């Protein structure tokens, strides 16, 4: 099974959790896009669902596939969110934000009754940190935040697009990719990052995720957090 096949299988399994009438949060990124397509197929087959999106890119994809996507601005609660992750460990801590939508992803996750993560087997790790941690930063505070991240032990790099132009989030902020190496205490690091003025949000998810669907060669493994 290819990596894309693993992602598609995990996404389809997660989308099977959607019930009629639900308000569904749509994640951002290549793996989350498989879930958007799988949900669109179920809607074509008769499922009633309304969606909110974690990025303009996901909104465009959802609408193009026939999904009803409403603005999140007036939404205070989401039934179920399906998203991807760049890394996830056995404690359901994850690094997200490779697609640049970490702020909206975290807001929608916080508003959700359940958060389902879909990944291929390569994204499951024993310790977070091989993937640099995305940090959304106010452009005004970039130099200060880079210094603060360095003092925390990271090697921070501004994310750029073509010709060295800074990558901009949907909120027009910068993203700094902070290479910390292995992260021993995700909750402690998350708290330290949250205390730095100028950081709008970081990509550490330490308590938001309820279930993980892992696409593997022999099928989909489902993991549920023990309460």
Give the integer Cα–Cα distance in Å for 25 and 54.
7
What phi and psi values does residue 61 have, to the nearest 5 degrees?
-65, -50
Buried b (16+ CB within 10 A) or exposed e, 6-18: bbbbbbbbbbebb
Give the integer Cα–Cα distance in Å for 28 and 117.
11
Compute how many other C-beta atoms are within 10 angstroms of the C-beta atom of residue 143.
Answer: 10
Give the integer Cα–Cα distance in Å for 41 and 21.
16
Classify residue 7 as left (phi > 0), alpha (psi -120 to 50) or beta. alpha
Q: Catalytic site residues?
A: 105
Give the integer Cα–Cα distance in Å for 227 and 219.
26
């Amino acid at each position: 099974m290819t990596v894309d096949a693993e992602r598609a299988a995990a996404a389809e399994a997660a989308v099977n959790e959607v019930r009629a009438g639900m308000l569904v949060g749509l994640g951002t990124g290549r793996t989350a896009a498989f879930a958007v397509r799988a949900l669109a197929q179920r809607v074509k087959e008769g499922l009633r669902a309304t969606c909110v999106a974690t990025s303009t890119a996901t909104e465009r994809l959802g609408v193009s596939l026939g999904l009803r996507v409403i603005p999140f601005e007036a939404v205070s609660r989401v039934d179920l969110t399906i998203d991807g992750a760049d890394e996830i460990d056995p404690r359901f801590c994850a690094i997200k934000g490779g697609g640049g939508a970490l702020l909206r992803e975290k807001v929608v996750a916080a508003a959700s009754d359940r958060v389902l993560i879909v990944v291929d087997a390569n994204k499951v790790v024993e310790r977070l940190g091989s993937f640099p941690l995305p940090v959304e930063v106010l452009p005004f505070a970039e130099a200060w935040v880079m210094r603060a991240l360095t003092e925390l032990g990271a090697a921070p790099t501004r994310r750029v697009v073509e010709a060295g132009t800074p990558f901009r989030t949907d909120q027009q902020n910068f993203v700094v990719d902070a290479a910390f190496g292995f992260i021993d205490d995700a909750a402690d690091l998350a708290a330290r990052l949250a205390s730095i003025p100028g950081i709008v949000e970081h990509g550490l998810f330490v308590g938001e995720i309820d279930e993980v669907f892992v696409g593997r060669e022999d099928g989909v493994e489902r993991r549920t957090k023990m309460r």
